[in-house]
Structure 1
Amino acid sequence: MNEELLNDDDVTLYGLFVEAFTRLRPLVHSDLGMPETWFEVVLRLGRTPGHRMRMTDLAEAVSFSSGGFTRLADRMAKEGLIRRDPDPGDRRAALAVLTDKGAEALDRALTKHVSHLRTHVSGPLSATDRRHLERALRLLRDAPSPAVPQPEGSG
């Protein structure tokens, strides 16, 4: 084993990031009144102008395959949280639209979510720490991603 790489500062930094996220995720998503994946969908729609997005864009935004997202959207539509409308700009596409029931469910979930965020995420941080964390996370999110090499024989 390469001890130098095992104890590399970058490995440690990433490990701390993963450990913090793994610890915080269930804390900030508890008591939402809906599955975490549903919350991500209604939150994304709630924060989007017009409360609607193309299904493919929404699937990508919440990191779902289009097939997996279609099944998720079917369940959410059946519960009345979203509906599908035709995309007036593209007859082949559909829009996911937040319904009134979905907006009400989002409001209830956000009340709990924001309280948990303030307790478990921003609460332990100073204002300076928070600004630094936000800046670092935006840099990581927005950094250009090189093409991910495919394993041999997969293409």
Structure 2
Amino acid sequence: MKKIAPDVKIGKDVKIYDFVNLYGCEIGDKTRIGTFVEIQNGAKIGKNCKISSHTFICEGVTIEDNVFIGHNVTFINDKYPRATTAEGILQGEKDWVCIPTLVKKGASVGSSSTILCGITIGENAMVGAGSVVTENVPAYATAAGNPARILRKTRKDKL
């Protein structure tokens, strides 16, 4: 892996399009990052992934190999976001708790979906466009809606 900025690690044959913000993240070999994507500190993207334009991947998100992320997908990492503490003081780093999210290999997340914190999207699972994922999606399942619900499960040999 090569470094293009402090604490950013980029694998071989990675394509990064214009207007991308990368902060302390790791991107695996042969991954494609679309325009206007932001990947924050500590996020990890696997090999052979496609991250489409206007997507926000925050700290605490791990995306395994061979994953497709559609346009305008947003990952959330704070369960109770607030600007100030109970005392009315602007929150700082010590007040914030990052809850990790995992997208397992071969999964697909449709455009304009929101993935809440602490979620696992299982191996080869699919999330329909425009979904709000509030619960884990099992391996080989298709989920969609707001909130996302499991619509069906696909057998491994039918992919």
More strand, by proportion:
2
Who wins on radius of gyration, i.e. which is larger?
Answer: 1
Q: TM-score, normalised by structure 1?
A: 0.20
Q: TM-score, normalised by structure 2?
A: 0.20
Highest RCO, 1 vs 2 (Cα 8 Å, sep ≥ 6): 1
